[in-house]
């Protein structure tokens, strides 16, 4: 257990219980919550745990803000999409697509990092914002390659298709289809990636990153090349985000600008990291789970409130289901002020 | 040398190289574009665009220069300024449609006045509630102002609805002047004049008045200015209000140019604004001015010559400038 979690335990009974509940829920999601919608939510949580953990590596551990995380996420998605669409639904092209996407992401991250981190960390936030928006425009314009605004649907290898049956007989009343297999692929890769991230932040390398976050000047004085460490962190984080994008592309069997590159997803990631807790990877798990559940079920609640308050001026508009981001935004601002360590930080006290 | 000789401080050297880039770029583009009249149209359009970007970006760069505060929510002041213009356009619809130049000008000025006052007041509140608690912490500033942006953008949806709102230009500003063979849109000329006026006013205030002296000193070394007995905080609040007001002004101009209002319009130009202030050098007004012109000129020329490249031309410009001068065209002393 110690080596599995790299010695980084939840350090709070309640937190450990919540984490175990989430792990249990995700591990047996197809059997506990049958149906397409809950399985979709579970898969989304798995992917976002990886994505948010990789973002936390940058924001929480190294102390640099990037707005290009969705770009790397998108590169992963488009890598799989282009490979499967052009060369057919085989494992070989898929591996090729993943490797190509990883290479593109890491090189791009290195270039952005060397260009901006050399000067000041704050440049990084602005430059990533600019590059990411240019990339989003590019992806929607190059429609011969990416499918443009509409994106592309493609077929995945046969084992992962809903039509595929692994067992003749249903297991615990659930037919083991390709969809279930594909869920478990997403789940297990996400789990491995999360444990890997845990390993990274608790290694000596991770300690240096935290030192840089606390005081970059001092870290430099102690003999650590801050630029090098920051650049490596950027590349690692970009690579992990790319793999998250790959998982999402495999699960959805569709890749388009709205599911991968949109700024809304970037804001979602920010909210998840901050609400869950910056600087601890368990925050990523809590943030991703809570936020994804809220996204799917909060709007229903808001619609009811909006109807209940019909007739009172302004209130129905405030609680309109489309305005749910307003409330999460308020929550975000408040949590940056009052709970900078997020839910996990609160639970650990 | 006698002891009585008064030595004047050496005149600061003007760095001409970035200044020269703008005309050189325009001249290089002339043979590439080919026809002179097209070139005039493109260049004037770019200058107008550049002026509008400058209006929106100048406040942000000044706020950063003075107090080391980066406001990711700046874009929302642009949107709000544009929406505030609706308060004027609604009641004065008749004057918008009238043929009288004076009435049209009054409408435009009223829009600008309301927008600047509104966004200025909002800037004051924003500084007080959102920015003040997080001085000196870049990470939190970025997060908080981003959160402020999300909330404010959603509030625009709540107040004015989520669908885009069309607005129309006052009658006399529509259409174009025809000079020789080149057509130059009237509204663009107005934007250029207004942008130059604001730049001149800013330049004079910063270089010829006592407040300007203090602001420049504050950009250079805030602690020293405080030690000399000036309240830099008040100065900063003032700059923040003016910066927000300018964003509102830019928002009105931008809205009339696009002729549609959307809550996300500020965020869309925000990206451009960041590129401009990075290219110009964070905190430098002159750099911001040149950066705006460069971004607009390059976008227009590449848009005409190689449309595919236009999408990433701004990024390329930024990369080239940063490779040449990593701190931007006009690096501000200590930062």
**According to the model, what pLDDT value does residue B1 have?**
45
- Over its C-alpha atoms, chain A yields an Rg (Å, rounded) of 21
Residues A11-37, mean pLDDT to the nearest whole number: 84
> Cβ(B183)–Cβ(B39) under 8 Å?
no
By the 8 A CB rule, do A329 and B157 touch? no
Calpha distance A298→A319 (Å, rounded)? 11
Phi, psi values for residue A28, rounded to 5°: -115, 20
Instruction: Give the C-alpha separation, A301 to A321, whole Å.
Output: 8
CB contact under 8 A, A63 and B143: no
What is the structure's pLDDT at B3?
Answer: 54
The band of A313, judged by pLDDT with boundaries at 50, 70 and 90, is low
Would the CB atoms of B138 and A130 count as touching at under 8 Å?
Answer: no
The total domain count for chain A is: 1
Convert the pLDDT of each residue in B217-243 to its tens digit. 887 788 888 899 888 888 888 889 999
Does the structure show a pLDDT above 80 at A158? no
Probe site for chain A from B68, B71, B150, B276 (most A CB atoms < 10 A) = B150
Other C-beta atoms closer than 10 Å to the C-beta of B138 total 18
pLDDT for A109: 93
**pLDDT, tens digit, 9 for 90 and up, residues B54-104:** 988 988 888 887 777 888 888 889 999 999 988 888 777 777 777 777 888
Tell me which chain B residues have a C-beta less than 8 angstroms from the C-beta of A314: 158
List chain A residues with CB under 8 Å of B332: none
Residue carrying the six token digits 């809304």: A264
Selected for mutation to probe chain B from A126, A137, A312, A335 (highest B CB count within 10 Å) is: A126
Inter-chain CB proximity A125 and B70 less than 8 Å: yes
**For residue A171, what is the DSSP state?**
B
Compute the distance between CA of residue A347 and CA of residue A290 in angstroms, rounded to an integer: 15
Say if residues B130 and B119 touch (Cβ distance below 8 Å): no
DSSP state of A177: B
Spell out which residues of chain B touch residue A318, defining contact as CB-CB under 8 Å: 158
- A→B interface, C-beta within 8 Å: 59, 63, 65, 115-116, 118-123, 125-127, 129-131, 133-134, 137-138, 141, 263, 267, 270, 274, 314, 317-318, 320, 322-323, 325-326, 328-330, 332-333, 336-337, 340
Residue A349's alpha-carbon distances to A36, A106, A341, A346, in angstroms, are: 38, 37, 10, 6
Q: What is the pLDDT of residue B13?
A: 67
CATH number of domain containing A335: 1.10.3470
**Residue of B139, B158, B312 lying closest to A134 (CB–CB):** B312
Q: What DSSP designation does A279 have?
A: T
Q: What is the pLDDT of residues B142-188, one digit of tens each?
A: 888 888 888 888 888 888 887 888 887 777 777 777 777 777 788 88
Compare all CA atoms of chain B with the CA of A118 and give the residue at the minimum distance.
B326
Hey, is A1 helix, strand or coil?
A: coil
A-chain residue closest to B141, CA distance: A336
Which ipTM was obtained for this model? 0.79
Give the residue from B191, B164, B172, B332 showing the smallest Cα distance to B251.
B191
The Cα A43–Cα A253 span in angstroms is 13
Find where tokens 């020329």 sit: B301
Q: How confident is the model over B103-128, as a mean pLDDT? A: 89
Of A63, A141, A314, Cβ closest to residue B311:
A141
Give me the DSSP letters along B143-182. HHHHHHHHHHHHHHHHHH-SS-EE----GGGSSEEEETTE
Q: Is the pLDDT of residue A243 over 90?
A: yes
Query: Rounded mean pLDDT of A251-277?
Result: 86
CATH number at B44-324: 1.10.3470
Domain range spanning residue A320?
13-348
Cα–Cα dist A230/A257, whole Å: 28
- The residue among A59, A60, A65, A279 with the most chain B CBs within 10 A of its CB, best to mutate, is A65
Q: CB B147 to CB A333 under 8 A?
A: yes
The DSSP string of B223-289 is HHHHHTT--HHHHHHHHHHHHHHHHHHHHHHHHHHH-EE-TTHHHHHHHHHHHHHHHH-TT-HHHHH
Residue of A nearest to B142 (CA): A65
Q: Name the residue of chain A whose CA is nearest to B272's CA.
A: A130
Residue A3 forms part of a structural domain: no
| Structure confidence at residue A72 as a pLDDT band (50, 70, 90) | very high
| pLDDT at residue A71 in the model | 93
pLDDT of residue B333: 59
Contact B254, B52 (CB under 8 A): yes
pLDDT tens sequence across A212-227: 888 888 998 999 998 8
Which residues contact residue A230 at a Cβ distance below 8 angstroms, ignoring those fewer than 6 apart? Answer: A62, A64, A113, A117, A121, A212
List CB contacts of A239: < 8 A, sequence separation 6 or more: A72, A102, A105, A106, A109
The residue of chain A with its CA nearest to that of B274 is A126
Quick one: pLDDT at residue B116? 92
The mean pLDDT of B280-297, rounded to a whole number, is 88
The 3-state DSSP class for residue A153 equals strand
Separation of alpha carbons A39 and A83, rounded Å: 26
Q: Structural domain boundaries of chain B?
A: 44-324
């Amino acid at each position: 257990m110690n080596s599995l979690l790299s010695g980084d335990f939840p350090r709070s009974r309640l937190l450990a219980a919540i984490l175990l509940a989430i792990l249990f829920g995700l591990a047996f999601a197809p059997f506990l919550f049958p149906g397409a919608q809950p399985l979709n939510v579970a898969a989304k949580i798995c992917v976002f745990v990886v994505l948010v953990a990789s973002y936390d590596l940058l924001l929480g551990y190294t102390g640099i803000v990037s707005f290009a995380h969705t770009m790397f996420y998108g590169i992963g998605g488009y890598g799989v999409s282009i490979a499967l669409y052009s060369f057919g639904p085989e494992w070989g092209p898929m591996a090729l697509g993943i490797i190509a996407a990883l290479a593109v992401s890491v090189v791009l991250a290195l270039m952005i990092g060397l260009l901006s981190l050399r000067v000041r960390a704050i440049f990084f936030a602005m430059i990533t914002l600019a590059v990411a928006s240019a990339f989003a425009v590019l992806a929607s314009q190059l429609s011969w390659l990416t499918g443009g605004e509409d994106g592309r649907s493609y077929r995945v290898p046969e084992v992962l298709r809903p039509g595929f049956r692994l067992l003749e007989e249903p297991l615990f009343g659930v037919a083991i289809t390709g969809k279930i297999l594909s869920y478990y692929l997403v789940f297990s890769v996400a789990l491995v990636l999360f444990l890997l991230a845990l390993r990274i932040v608790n290694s000596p390398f991770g300690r240096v990153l935290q030192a840089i976050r606390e005081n970059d000047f001092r870290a430099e004085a102690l003999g650590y090349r801050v630029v090098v460490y920051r650049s490596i962190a950027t590349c690692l984080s970009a690579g992990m985000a790319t793999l998250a994008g790959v998982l999402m592309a495999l699960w959805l069997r569709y890749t388009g600008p709205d599911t991968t590159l949109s700024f809304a997803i970037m804001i979602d990631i920010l909210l998840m990291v901050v609400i869950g807790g910056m600087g601890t990877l368990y925050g990523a798990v809590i943030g991703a789970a809570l936020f994804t559940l809220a996204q799917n079920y909060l709007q229903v609640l808001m619609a009811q409130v909006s109807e209940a308050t019909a007739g009172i001026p302004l209130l129905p508009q405030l609680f309109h289901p489309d305005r749910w981001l307003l409330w999460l935004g308020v929550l975000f601002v408040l949590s940056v002020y009052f709970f900078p360590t997020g839910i996990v930080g609160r639970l650990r006290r | 040398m006698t002891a009585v000789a008064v030595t004047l401080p050496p005149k600061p050297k003007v760095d001409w190289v970035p200044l020269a880039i703008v005309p050189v770029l325009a001249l290089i583009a002339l043979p590439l574009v080919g026809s002179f009249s097209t070139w005039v149209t493109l260049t004037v359009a770019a200058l107008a665009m550049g002026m509008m970007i400058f209006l929106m970006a100048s406040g942000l760069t000044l706020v950063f220069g003075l107090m080391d505060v980066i406001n990711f929510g700046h874009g929302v002041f642009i949107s709000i300024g544009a929406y505030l213009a609706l308060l004027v356009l609604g009641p004065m619809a008749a004057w918008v449609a009238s043929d009288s130049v004076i009435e049209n000008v009054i409408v435009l000025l009223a829009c600008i006045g309301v927008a600047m006052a509104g966004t200025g007041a909002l800037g004051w509140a924003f500084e007080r509630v959102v920015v003040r608690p997080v001085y000196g912490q870049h990470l939190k500033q970025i997060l908080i102002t981003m959160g402020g942006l999300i909330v404010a953008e959603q509030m625009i949806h709540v107040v004015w609805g989520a669908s885009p709102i069309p607005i129309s230009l006052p009658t006399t500003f529509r259409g174009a002047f025809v000079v020789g063979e080149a057509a130059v849109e009237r509204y663009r000329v107005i934007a250029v004049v207004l942008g130059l006026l604001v730049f001149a006013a800013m330049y004079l205030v910063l270089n010829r008045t006592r407040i300007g002296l203090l602001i420049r000193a504050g950009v250079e070394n805030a602690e020293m200015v405080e030690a000399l007995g000036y309240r830099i905080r008040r100065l900063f609040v003032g700059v923040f209000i003016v910066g927000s007001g300018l964003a509102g002004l830019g928002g009105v101009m931008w809205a009339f140019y696009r002729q549609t209002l959307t809550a996300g319009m500020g965020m869309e130009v925000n990206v451009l604004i960041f590129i401009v202030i990075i290219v110009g050098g964070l905190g430098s007004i002159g750099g911001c001015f040149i950066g705006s012109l460069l971004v607009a000129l390059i976008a227009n020329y590449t848009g005409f010559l190689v449309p595919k490249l236009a999408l990433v031309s701004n990024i390329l410009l930024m990369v080239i400038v940063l490779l040449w001068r990593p701190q931007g065209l006009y690096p501000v002393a200590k930062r």
